[in-house]
Amino acid sequence: MSFDALPPIGLGTYRLTGDTARDTVKRALSLGYRHIDTAQAYNNEAEVGDGITSSGIPRREIFVTTKIWHDNLHPDRLVASLKESLQRLKTDHVDLTLIHWPSPDNEVPMADYLMALLRAQHEGLTDHIGLSNFTIAQMDEARQILGEHPILTNQIEVHPFLANRKLVDHAQTLGIQVTGYMPLAVGRVMENQALAELARKRNVSAAQLAIAWVVSRGVVPIPSSTRDEHLKANLDALTLQLTPEELNVIDRLDRGERLANPPFAPAWDQ
C-alpha cells in the first residue's frame, strides 16, 4: 500500500518506553490504528519497531513517522542518522520523516538540512518529508527552498487550549496538512469543566470531544494512551460529529496555553 496522505489519526509515542512502548504499539495496531508516530529524541524507535513487527499487521499497511533531532541536522549526519533510525525501527523505509525542530538559532541553515532530507527521500529511505514546530515564516522559507517538492505536514501543538489558528490556517493555505500533537493537552482536557459538561450531555468523554474538535479543523490528531479503552475511544472519536454550538464552546477555550516550549523553540506566531 502506498499512502498519498496521512491516515486520519495516529498513535503518539512520546514518553512511551521499554515494554510499555512495545505493547502499546502492538495493541493500538490490533485495535485499528495504522499511523504510528515516533522520533529519534524519544529514544524508543527500537521498541516501536518491535511493536510493529510483532503485531502481525503487514508493514505496508502501517504509516510510520519519525523525526530528525537537531543534533543530526548537519547534512553529513542527517541521512546517516535516518539510516540508524530505520535499523532501530526494523524497516527499510519510513512513510514520513520530519525535521523535529528548526535548527536552534539557525545554526544549520534550513536549505542545508532540507536538501539533505530531500536526498534521503530520493534514496528511498522515506516516502514523504515534512516539518515539525515550524512557524509561519519558517514554513514559507521551507516552501521556497523545496519548490515543487511536496511538504506533507507541519506537526505542531494543537488542543482546545492552544488552537494555533494562524499557523494552522497558513499551513492549510500552503497545501500543507497539519498534524496536531498533544491534542488532549497532556490530560488537561479531562479536567476542564466546560468540556466535562458537554461530554455528559453527549454521553462521550472530554477526550473524545477534544479529538473530534481537532479533526473538525482538518487537523490529524496523534493522541497518546496506553490503555485499551482509551485507545479505542480515541479512534471512535473520528465518527463524532460536533454541532456548531459545541464547536463554539470548545473554540472559546483557547487561551494560548503552550505546553511544548523548550529553550530552543522558535519565536512562535501569536
Of 264, 149, 161, 172, nearest to 220 by C-alpha is: 172
Cβ proximity of 155 and 181 under 8 Å: yes
Q: Which three cell numbers stand for residue 188?
A: 488537561
Cβ proximity of 231 and 31 under 8 Å: yes
CA distance 65 to 97: 6
- Confirm whether residue 100 is marked as ligand binding: yes
Question: Which residue of the set 33, 42, 113, 181 is catalytic?
Answer: 42
Q: Alpha helix (H) ranges present in the chain?
A: 18-31, 45-53, 75-89, 110-122, 136-146, 165-173, 193-202, 206-216, 228-236, 244-251
Paired residues of 154 in beta bridges: 131, 178
Write b or e for each residue in 16-42: b if 16 or more Cβ atoms lie within 10 A of its Cβ, otherwise e: beeeebbbbbbbbbeeebbbbbbbbbb
Rg (CA), the chain: 18
Of 173, 156, 152, nearest to 164 by C-alpha is: 156
CA distance 86 to 231: 26
Q: Is 14 a catalytic residue?
A: no
List all residues 6 or more positions away from 22 whose beta carbon is below 8 Å from its beta carbon.
47, 48, 50, 51, 54
CA distance 194 to 212: 15
Residues of the binding site? 100
Binding-site residue numbers for substrate are 100
**Active-site amino acid positions:** 42
